[in-house]
Chain A
Amino acid sequence: MLRRLALALVSAGLILAGPALAQSAPPDPKNWAAVTERARGQTVYWYAWAGERHINDYIAWVGTETARRFGVKVEHVKIADTAEAVTRVLAEKTAGRTEGGAVDLIWINGPNFAAMKANGLLFGPWAEDLPNFRFVDVAGKPSVLNDFTVPTEGLEAPWSMAQIVFFHDRARLPGPPASARALLAWATANPGRFAYPDPSDYLGATFLKQVLVEVVADPAILQKPVDEAAFVTVTAPLWAYLDALKPALWRAGRAFPKNQAELRRLFADGETEIAFAFDPAAASAAIASKELPETVRSFVFDGGTIGNASFVAIPFNAAHKEGAMVVADFLLSPEAQARKQDPKVWGAFTVLDLARLPAEDRRRFEALDLGIATLPPEKLGRHLPEPHPSWMTRITGEWKRRYGAG
């Protein structure tokens, strides 16, 4: 009996291990018919940040659709930090694995993209050859071609727009602050009721950039790589601001929430009175799932808030490049984009130019009910550009030195 059991276990192991995949010449994205042909039957390992359930659900929907329409399965590799995927690809390059890599597609932007691009870890250019790329709003949303000022050069395809949006509970706090300075004044008057995530999380880092853009003497300097000589003077107002904010923070700045979800949880528990997210529809989505009370509303700063585009990229050694391109193209389709913008699904804004879409596709967007707590695009205010990625690396490092060392 034991022997039979052992046999069964071993054969189960063999089946689960699956056959090794062979890889041949790199695909040519210009020959789209050949790409879709070879993509059929592939399984795309998509390394994507998995901190929010509704985003995971959306990715699962994408997988179901691409499997049904193009025969491409998507395996969502859920990671807490995109850097895990970058590390993975690097480790493979280290070991000399130039094909058959574990990572097929990465949800990426900012410093991770800059690092992969600089280290030659990306496949491409391919993004601008995707059939659906022609709908992308390259004129109205310049960040789809410049990821944190770094030119994308076809090495990554945009798929989502994000912008900082704050939220407050109308019943408790009727008049929320309208700038970083006003926020500081409010927090000082209400100590312990505001928090921002640890900047090792992207949302925490984005909050630092939001403050930096508002307090810096000349924001134009942030569009260029960090000038080490000028770093101290340029960022001095940021540290002055954060020093003043620290004693008024939740837990007096002795602990920081880990990410967007924890920040929202503190807000839901009533521990904090102002929270923020990188999805304009985050508040509406949380109200819909009864996580937040119905009196919650969104607001932005008068001077605008930081916004950026999210991309997908394919590593140089990906085992299933064709499948990955098919998935990236589907992400850009009006149908997938409209579904993503639906706050009942996710609520992240589209990268497409609605004016370029055929009428029936445009109607998909016009028919969306954005939810009671979502600001319509015209009230989202000015969309402030991301600084060069080197600023993010430097200020998060400096933050850790000042506040992260206990």
Chain B
Amino acid sequence: MPFRLAPVLTLAVLLLPVAAGLAGVLLPAFGHWPVLGRSGGSLDAWRELAATPGLTRSTLISLWVGLATTALSLAVVIVVTAVFQGTRAFAVLRRLIAPLLAAPHVALAIGLAFVLAPSGLVLRLLSPWATGYTRPPDLLTVNDPWGFSLIAGLALKETAFLFLMTLAALPQADAARTLTVARTLGYGRVTGWIRTVWPRVYPQIRLPVVAVLAYGTSVVDVALVLGPTSPPPLAVAVLRWASDPDLATRFKASAGAVLQVLVVAVAIALWLGGEAVVRDRARTAGARGARTTWEGAGRLLAWGAAGVIALTLGLALASLVLWSFAESWRFPQLLPAALTSARWIEGTMSAAAVLGVSASIAAIATGLALALVLGCLENEVRTGRTPGRRVTGLLYLPLIVPQVAFLTGLEVVFLPLGLDGGWAAVVLAHLVFVLPYVFLSLADPWRAYDERYRTTALCLGASPLAALVKVRLPMLMRPVLTAAAIGFSVSIDLYLPTLVVGAGRFPTITTEAVALASGGDRRIIGVHALLQALLPFLAFAAAIGVPLLVFRHRRGLRDA
């Protein structure tokens, strides 16, 4: 019985907050919010929105950042996979991707800001011997008006995400054999991969790509650290209006939130349109059978991209660590003049409480998500029915509808229910985002499990529950823990749900890091960014370590 309820509950947890939140912005956007003195409906909010200086530019920046981030990340993934698949380097990349995936967006953005700033590590490496600068040049690098640093920061992380999704899709694309056939037909490795394997991979990762696009178009936290400031991207502007002291601005904020939804829709439409054009052209080129060799260029690009990413990550990590231990570090000194552990002692003491809050919210949200997902998957086993693509697509809804749109509306809905600003509300908001990731990462290994183990257990007289708890779960411990670690790090990463739904009363390491990053002492910011990155790393370490420990006498499960 409880297993049959799981799918319904899961869908309710995913869809109700999104729907309620959207209603909570649609009504005020069209002039209905009686307590604020407007009801019945009007277009005033839209007129106010249209009259906002810089609105066009904000909207275009959002659109541009979303599309550019997605195109760049996808291009890197394609070229890297095409060049390296099946080589030894590929196995190394596979391993290296894990820490990048675990690193929180905000910590990464802060590290990148440290690297790119005019007083950052890149210019320190080159100054004064090559550049002649004895003081930071007056260059607009971080927060540049066209969002290049924002795109770079987002692409770093999204490349890792899309790469992971591609890895998961490759087995279904029958990549190795397809590539062999292509190569026997005289295609080069890179050309062959792009012509034959990629078209079978892409449809499988289209939803993740769209999620990346929607995220890039409506991101708030990374934009606060790296994005343009005057004017900011639309989502940041909406958040500002939603917290304006002039209460009438709330109507404009709601209209802006609705506009943000439209912007995401337009971005998706443009992307799908572009996709169709590329597909047609690729088909024509493929039919012509041209054996164009992109081998050299492809290899150069792949090594270049992998090198730039690795170098950037290395420099970012080095900047964070150096700043966190620096006593004073003036430009153009390459290394701090004096080191101290004082900031770590101060920082850890002041951050201890927020680390606890972060970890407990993440643990509870992940626990609930895991319970629901296991319930759904076990229900599949018992009923023998797997949900279709459309239902699975619904999982992506909270990842595609812009956070800033439905979360600000959720406040209006949660309040009368007495749900606002409490632990329950924050955990629920986190659950909305944690659940899809847990489901997506656990579903495949679960479905790939050999059902004969279960049948054997049942034949030996075990109850269905015992077959689940005593046989299946222990055997699937590794993917279950990995899914939990992913859910945990998604929760640690969340900024807006914590801030908006928690009314700022649940300061997490992430909200603290964003608040600090907007200015202030780099030494303390470094400590916070590293502490923020620490939590997901611990979670992944546990996900890897616990099975090793538990299965130390079970050779068959150790490398499963």
Contact = CB atoms under 8 A, between A and B. Distances in A.
B421 interface: yes
A115 B35 contact: no
Interface in A43-81: 45, 47, 50-53, 56-57, 60, 75, 77-81
B53 A94 contact: no
A297 to B, nearest CB: 18
B520 A86 contact: no
A56 B346 CA distance: 12
Interface stretch (B243-251, B283-291, B296-304): B243-251
A12 interface: yes
A17 interface: yes
A258 B224 CA distance: 10
Contact of B231 (A10, A96, A405): A405
A2 B138 contact: no
B415 A95 contact: yes
> In which size bucket is the chain A interface?
35 or more
B261 to A, nearest CB: 21
A184 B330 CA distance: 27
Interface in A368-406: 393, 400-401, 403-406
B5 interface: no
Contact of A251 (B138, B328, B422, B518): B138
Interface stretch (B171-179, B200-208, B502-510, B532-540): B502-510
Interface residues of B, number: 65
A42 to B, nearest CB: 15
B32 interface: no
Contact of B244 (A18, A83, A290): A83
B518 A256 contact: no
Contact of A78 (B54, B367, B512, B520): B512
B522 A77 contact: no
B229 A258 contact: yes
A77 B504 contact: yes
A186 to B, nearest CB: 16
Contacts of B521: 53, 261, 265, 289, 291
A405 B138 CA distance: 21
Q: Report the 10 A-B pairs with minimum CB-CB distance, sorted nearest first.
A: A262-B519, A405-B54, A261-B519, A95-B415, A192-B138, A261-B520, A405-B53, A94-B35, A269-B119, A9-B367
Given A17-B423, A53-B350, A262-B519, 6 more contacts: A9-B367, A51-B515, A51-B518, A97-B415, A252-B138, A265-B522
Interface of A: 2, 5-6, 9-10, 12-13, 16-18, 45, 47, 50-53, 56-57, 60, 75, 77-84, 86-88, 90-97, 102, 111-112, 115, 119, 191-193, 198, 200, 250-252, 254-265, 268-271, 289-291, 293, 393, 400-401, 403-406
30 contacts: A2-B473, A10-B367, A17-B424, A18-B423, A53-B521, A53-B524, A75-B505, A77-B504, A88-B504, A92-B415, A93-B35, A95-B415, A97-B415, A198-B229, A254-B140, A256-B229, A263-B519, A265-B520, A265-B522, A269-B330, A270-B119, A270-B135, A270-B136, A271-B135, A291-B521, A400-B54, A405-B53, A406-B57, A406-B145, A406-B231
